[in-house]
């Protein structure tokens, strides 16, 4: 029976992905910064571990406690929606620490065991905003686009060791708390000069759309990335992400 470790499982994509693999009889190690009871069904194939991807000690302890792994899914991330002028550099660093450096650090911690066994899969959940430019998302997009570039290069250096690496790119997902969490972090609001642009973007985000991403779309894309060696490097997840991948024009 294979074992998967997933970061950022307290809600959203990580939580649904953990459920999906449990339903398919995998051993699942679901990690989150603050483990909570009841977010996942009880199972003797489930372990919930504390993991803060920005903390080297936390990463080391979680990977040691996890034991042998077959798959790593880097899903943990934070959102940010604001003009660059309204974004303190401390916030820029925080976004990159979690979304970019956290992904790199957890991957680095797991690779030795994959390399020694000459087997393993690393799946990274980034974002479809890296496919189509959107205003007020420059910092967030940069943090995710950096992961895309990192992973596509890493795939080449890991190929000789039999390690596969893939990217899953979700679209807009109203059934997760990600957008709400991003907006709640904007304590000082938008710079006045960007007010009208901000209002139009927020209104667009709050508008119901027919082409959206559901958490199970991402879980299914991760499943394919793990189990289908022939799948492409980048897997759009959700109707909107698939649309953007086929027509990556600026909007």
194 is catalytic: no
What are the distances in angstroms from CA 160 to CA 61, 126, 139, 152? 28, 25, 34, 14
Contacts of 96 (CB under 8 A, 6+ apart): 142, 143, 146
Catalytic residue among 13, 21, 26, 140, which? 140
Give CA separation, 71 vs 68, 133, 152, 175, in Å.
10, 31, 17, 26
Q: What are the phi and psi torsion angles at 73 (to 5°)?
A: -115, 115
* Both structure tokens of 182: 């991003």
C-alpha pair distances (Å), 56 with each of 99, 100, 102: 15, 14, 9
- Strands, E assignment, the chain: 3-6, 27-32, 46-50, 71-74, 120-125, 163-170, 234-237
- Catalytic center residues: 140
């Amino acid at each position: 029976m294979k074992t998967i470790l997933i970061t950022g499982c307290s809600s959203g994509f990580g939580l649904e992905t953990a459920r999906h693999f449990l339903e398919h009889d995998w051993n699942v190690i679901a990690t989150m910064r603050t483990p909570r009871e009841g977010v996942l069904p009880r199972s003797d194939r489930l372990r919930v571990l504390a993991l803060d991807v920005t903390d080297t000690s936390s990463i080391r302890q979680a990977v040691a406690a996890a034991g042998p792994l077959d798959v790593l899914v880097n899903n943990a991330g934070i959102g940010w929606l604001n003009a660059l002028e309204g974004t303190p550099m401390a916030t820029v660093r925080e976004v990159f620490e979690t979304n970019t450096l956290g992904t790199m650090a957890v991957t680095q911690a797991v690779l030795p065991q994959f390399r020694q066994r000459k087997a393993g899969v690393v799946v990274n959940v980034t974002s479809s905003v890296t496919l189509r430019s959107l205003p007020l998302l420059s910092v967030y997009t940069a943090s995710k686009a950096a992961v895309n570039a990192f992973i596509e290069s890493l795939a080449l250096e890991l190929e000789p060791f039999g390690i596969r690496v893939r990217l899953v790119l979700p679209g807009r997902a109203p059934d997760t708390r990600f957008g709400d969490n991003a907006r709640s972090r904007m304590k000082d609001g938008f710079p006045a000069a960007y007010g009208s642009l901000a209002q139009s973007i927020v209104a667009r985000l709050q508008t119901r759309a027919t082409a959206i991403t559901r958490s199970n779309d991402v879980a299914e894309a991760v499943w394919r990335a793990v189990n289908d060696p022939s799948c492409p490097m980048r897997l759009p997840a959700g109707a909107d992400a698939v649309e953007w991948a086929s027509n990556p024009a600026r909007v």
